[in-house]
Amino acid sequence: PRQPGYTPALAASSARARRRIWQAVDRGLARLLAALDLSTTTVVLASDHGMLPIHTRIDLNVLLRDAGLAVLGDDGRPDPARSRALALGQGGAAHVYLAPSVVEPERSALLASLEERFERLAVGGDRPIARVVPHGRLAEVGLDHPNSGDLVLFARPGYSFDEDPLPGGALAAPTATYGRHGHLHDEPRVQPIFLALGRGVPKSSLGTVKTVEVAGRVAAWLGIEPPRRASFEN
């Protein structure tokens, strides 16, 4: 209801459209399964991700500018050569990087200050930031990689980060994109679908299957070596 242009009639027609799409996919899968011998064939159906409805966009570089850390150009984007910190955001997640010139002990103090500032951020009486994860704890959310930010931020449902500057240099603005993803994976609406049946698949629930496990499972059913970085447990 907080999205621009929302009406109950539009919400109802959108729900009907989604149901028609699901029914079309279901009929297509039924035709595929009817043509296969499931005693010799394994079928795996995996979706990409779910989506969350969005009502507000956030430009974190405006906050960094107001903190005296980011220098924004005429186009509203941060200038890496002159900024001590910048944010790269898209959808439900954003990476915040400090410049290499910011060294210890100032670096740790600045990151702690930014973490607190992001956690206290308020927009229209709401707290749009669901979680701030320092680089050293990114394994907790599956983003433990050298290229990940010094801080990684996740938006609450309804909010998204935007790589494009907002009109007038605003920190927050109504969205023009009504669905985004990239939020924390414990939000059920962004979780993907996984279905496997046929040869080699037990006729029972597989429980929760992580996206990073799908390649390993498929490799096992094919009888080939899994990708080197695949995660898989029987």
pLDDT for 226 equals 87
Number of H helices, E strands in the chain: 4, 10
The pair phi, psi for residue 229, each rounded to 5°, is -100, 10
β-strand partners of 44: 196
141-165 pLDDT tens trace: 989 999 999 999 999 999 999 878 9
Q: Does the reported pTM lie above 0.85?
A: yes
Q: Tell me, what amino acid is at 85? A: A
pLDDT for 232 equals 53
Above 50 in pLDDT, residue 234?
no
pLDDT for 212 equals 84
State percent of the chain over pLDDT 90: 80
210-220 pLDDT tens trace: 888 899 999 99
Mean pLDDT of 97-108: 97
Question: And the tokens for 205?
Answer: 């629930």
pLDDT for 231 equals 58
What single DSSP character describes residue 137? Answer: G
